[in-house]
Amino acid sequence: MKINFFLILGTVFYLNVNGQIVHDKVVFYETYNKSNDIDKIDLRNLNYKAGEPVFIVINVESSVPNEDFLAQREQEELKNNFGIKTDFINYTVDIKFYNRFKTVLKFSYEDSPKQVIYWSGKMDDKPIVYDGLLKSSEYFSPYLKQNKSSSYIESFNKRKDILITDFVDNPTDKSILISNRLVNKMLLQSLYNMKEESNFFEINFKNIKRVTYTSNFDIDNDKLKEVTFDKDGKPLKIIFEDLKDKNYYYQSSLVYEDNILRKIVSESTNDYHTEVPVFYQDDKLFTYDQYSIKQYRLGENNFLLSEDYYYDDEKFYFLVNQVKVNNNVLRFIENDHMNDRTYSFKSLKDYFPIKIKIREDIDEEIKKVNDKLYKETSSSYEIEYHFSDNNLIDKIVYIEKANPKQKRIINYIYEYYK
């Protein structure tokens, strides 16, 4: 069956209500106000003397992740287009120009400036300030009596054209396997807060009608509410709610045809609604929306491998995240490497113990104590996964080593079809 739509490769990033990208054990990206502490210790003075023209790219942000990569791209673009010295500033600074006006420009984290400055180096000229980071070559070309354009726009459009494809949907015998693996990963992520370690666990939800949970920590009660299933164990709805507003909910509905996932429909009480179609080609599974496409395939031992592509039409860039496996090492590779993870497992027949490295500074390990208990440990915490006789996780216990008596316990409740 030929489907007449166009797809552009990309991926979507998920943030919590505070704008953070959060691992349930480690917060990798934090947003905070640096003005109180950094402005006092990081204030610098830069002096530009007359004589040599200069561009200065300013990107002073109080958040991580930030857009330094866009500013650095603009810096290289200006160098290549005009052959003029180009500096890049991403900290609080006072910039003094030794012209006859004695111009001083101040930049601080409080203002979060994103600007490009050009000064001819002449005593009688003031610096010209462009308010923005993108397409500065087009802005300054008239001042320099040139006709330059930003090459990354053309590069972005060419890559986008290459990635636009008229796909043919053609499920195969492997489509059910890869559909089941993707659904299993989504389920283990939602229910048990797993990431790529979901590849190492096979949990069968057959005959389960509904899963809910109880927790002694409010942090858990502000997330998942319930998951409902059909009799074959396929999740139908994953529902979240807001602890502070019980009238608010967010849910994802999974739609199947011929035993394979065909659509993910997400909606909430604030009229948010989106539908993500799922299709199959060349023994691969694809999901897509207006920003992204994710491509999945099965590797050895049916590991779920992926390439997620995200594109931004306004800022002209692509981001790529990947899951790969090679030589008993499963890798999640993030575009900016802020959240890279590697899982080194024992063998394809016996995974455990699994050594986990997050970026280059956090080490964890998952051990199989017995068939009923798995333990994940790091330098600061321990997580216990308790399995029932039906090979379902009935309890997860989080233990902070600095305060081992205060345990965070999640108990799962399974309701069965009669």
Summarize pLDDT for 222-234 with one digit per residue, the tens.
Answer: 567 889 999 999 9
Mean pLDDT of 74-88: 96
Q: Model confidence over 171-219: pLDDT tens digits?
A: 998 899 999 999 999 999 888 989 999 999 989 999 999 999 888 876 6
- Mean pLDDT along residues 58-67: 80
Q: How confident is the model at residue 243 (pLDDT cuts 50, 70, 90)?
A: low
Instruction: Count Cα neighbours of 179 within 13 Å in the Cβ-side half-sphere.
Output: 24
pLDDT at 28: 24
Q: State mean pLDDT over 61-90.
A: 89
Count of C-beta atoms within a 10 Å radius of residue 206: 13
Nearby residues of 289 by Cβ (< 8 Å), 6 or more positions away: 12, 274, 276
- Other Cβ atoms less than 10 A from the Cβ of 7: the count is 20
More confident residue, 406 or 347: 347
Nearest of 198, 178, 235 to residue 393 by alpha carbon: 198
What would the mean pLDDT of 126-153 be, rounded to a whole number?
Answer: 95
Q: Tell me the average pLDDT across 286-303.
A: 87
> Which of the four pLDDT bands, split at 50, 70 and 90, describes residue 118?
very high
Closest CA to 117 of 42, 165, 58: 58
Q: Give the model's pLDDT for residue 29.
A: 25
288: left (phi over 0), alpha (psi -120 to 50) or beta: beta
Higher pLDDT, 125 or 63: 125
State how far the alpha carbon of 46 is from the alpha carbons of 73, 91, 322, 348, in Å: 22, 11, 41, 57
The percent of residues above 70 in pLDDT, for the chain, comes to 85
Q: Is the pLDDT of residue 11 over 80?
A: no
Give the contacts of 415 (CB within 8 A, at least 6 positions apart): 208, 209, 210, 211, 212
CB contact set of 11 (below 8 Å; sequence gap of 6+): 291, 292, 293, 294, 308, 309, 310, 319, 320, 321
The two tokens of residue 278 are 């799922």
CA within 13 Å, CB half, 45: 6
For residue 70, pLDDT beyond 50 = yes
pLDDT for the residue numbered 17: 33
Contacts 24+ apart (CB under 8 A), 387-395: 391/203, 391/204, 392/203, 392/205, 392/208, 393/191, 393/192, 393/203
Residue 84 has pLDDT above 80, yes or no: yes
Q: Which of these, 360, 295, 283, 287, lies nearest to 321 by C-alpha position?
A: 295
pLDDT-based confidence at 418, cuts 50/70/90?
confident
Sort strands 54-59 and 86-89 into parallel, antiparallel or unpaired. parallel
Query: Which tops the pLDDT comparison, 15 or 340?
Result: 340
Mean pLDDT across the stretch 260-273?
A: 88
